[in-house]
């Protein structure tokens, strides 16, 4: 019998969401909302930063802007799922122009969640809860 008190059980690990958005104000708002919902958030302003972050910090989901400065978010999406196959189905793209021909054609070949800008922040929270709660249930049943 040990007289040392047992530490309290650790809370379940937080799901991590990577936000890739070059617009600083929007990136900060998204980050604040998701942190308030209990998620761990990584944020990147460019495709390169996002790629570097994911090399050292695994993410459970990605919010990805289509229009990034040096590389299209659509090209980054393909690079991410190639390098991190577990992210397939875990990425939502954010676009102010989801009806553009190149975006529409790309989505026919790469179906994923599309969050059309301007969006209500509740949509982001709902996407995160639906996606990450479903992930928790899958891993809990295994």
* Residue 20 CB contacts under 8 Å (≥ 6 apart), including other chains: 44, 45, 46, 47, 49, 50, 62, 63, 64, 65, 68, 73, 76
Q: What is the mean pLDDT of residues 114-133?
A: 91
> Is the distance from CB of 74 to CB of 106 less than 8 angstroms?
yes
Residue 140 has pLDDT above 90, yes or no: no
Query: Which residues on neighbouring strands pair with residue 91, listed in sequence order?
Result: 62
> Is the distance from CB of 18 to CB of 61 less than 8 angstroms?
yes
pLDDT recorded at residue 18: 97
pLDDT recorded at residue 7: 60
Q: What is the mean pLDDT of residues 21-46?
A: 96
**How confident is the model over 46-103, as pLDDT tens digits?**
999 999 999 999 999 999 999 998 899 999 999 999 999 999 999 999 988 777 888 8
CA angle 8–9–12, rounded 5-degree value:
140
Q: Determine how many CB atoms are found less than 10 A away from the CB of residue 54.
A: 20
pLDDT recorded at residue 128: 94
Residue 11 has pLDDT above 60, yes or no: no
* Residue 136 CB contacts under 8 Å (≥ 6 apart), including other chains: 12, 15
């Amino acid at each position: 019998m040990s007289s040392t008190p047992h530490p309290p059980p650790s809370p379940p690990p937080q799901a991590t969401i990577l936000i890739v958005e070059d617009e600083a104000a929007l990136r900060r708002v998204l980050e604040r909302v998701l942190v308030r919902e209990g998620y761990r958030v990584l944020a990147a302003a460019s495709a390169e930063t996002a790629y570097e972050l994911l090399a050292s910090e695994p993410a459970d989901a990605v919010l990805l802007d289509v229009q990034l400065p040096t590389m299209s978010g659509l090209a980054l999406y393909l690079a991410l799922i190639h390098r991190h196959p577990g992210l397939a189905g875990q990425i939502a793209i954010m676009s102010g122009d989801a009806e553009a021909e190149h975006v529409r054609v790309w989505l026919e070949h790469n179906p994923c969640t599309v969050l059309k800008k301007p969006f209500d922040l509740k949509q982001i929270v709902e996407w995160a809860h639906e996606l990450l709660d479903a992930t928790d249930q899958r891993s809990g049943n295994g």
